[in-house]
């Protein structure tokens, strides 16, 4: 099936072994540091990574398969969490973390035009060329343009 089942790090000659389920989704990856295990939902979306250092990354998804929540957990204690919010077009419009909230705005053709960090009063404004390439990013702190 063309899946990588093992490899050896050329720098320090440490082997890694990979195992897959019947849907060709990686179930485990093992190396000298330990075994990482991966879990998926019925749609094949990654829902959990268990690390050998007792950390877990847990993902949930919305109906559009966008990551809705992410948690990093160590021995039952949440160390980091974020909540993502999307508009009807599937564009990320808000991220909530313990450190604060970041909001995103888009223009009529779906280009990111503004990133507003509500926790630090630092904002970014994006401008585009006629070819839809980013032409500039202006950073504002306390509503004043940073040089």
* pLDDT, tens digit, 9 for 90 and up, residues 115-141: 999 878 889 999 999 999 999 999 998
Handedness of CA 138, 139, 143, 146 (dihedral sign): negative
Side-chain half-sphere CA neighbours of 98 within 13 A: 7
Q: How many CB atoms are located within 10 Å of the residue 102 CB? A: 21
Full-model pTM: 0.80
What is d(CA 60, CA 39) in angstroms, rounded to the nearest whole number? Answer: 12
Name the residue with higher pLDDT: 27 or 14.
Answer: 27
What is d(CA 13, CA 29) in angstroms, rounded to the nearest whole number? Answer: 16
Location of structure tokens 């970014």: 124
What is d(CA 107, CA 131) in angstroms, rounded to the nearest whole number? Answer: 15
| pLDDT (0 to 100) of residue 9 | 72
What is d(CA 55, CA 18) in angstroms, rounded to the nearest whole number? Answer: 19
């Amino acid at each position: 099936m063309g899946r990588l089942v093992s490899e050896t790090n050329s720098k320090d000659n440490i082997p890694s072994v990979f195992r897959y389920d019947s849907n060709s989704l990686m179930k485990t990856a093992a190396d000298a540091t330990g075994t990482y295990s991966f879990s998926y939902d019925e749609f094949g979306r990654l829902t959990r990574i268990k690390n050998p250092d007792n950390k877990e990354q847990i993902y949930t998804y919305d109906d559009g398969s966008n990551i809705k929540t992410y948690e990093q957990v160590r021995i039952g204690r949440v160390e980091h969490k974020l909540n993502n919010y999307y508009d009807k077009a599937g564009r990320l419009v808000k991220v909530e973390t313990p450190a604060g909230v970041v909001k995103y705005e888009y223009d009529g053709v779906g280009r990111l035009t503004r990133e507003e960090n509500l926790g630090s009063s630092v904002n970014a404004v994006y401008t585009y060329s006629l070819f839809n390439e980013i032409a500039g990013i202006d950073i504002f702190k306390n509503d004043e343009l940073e040089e």
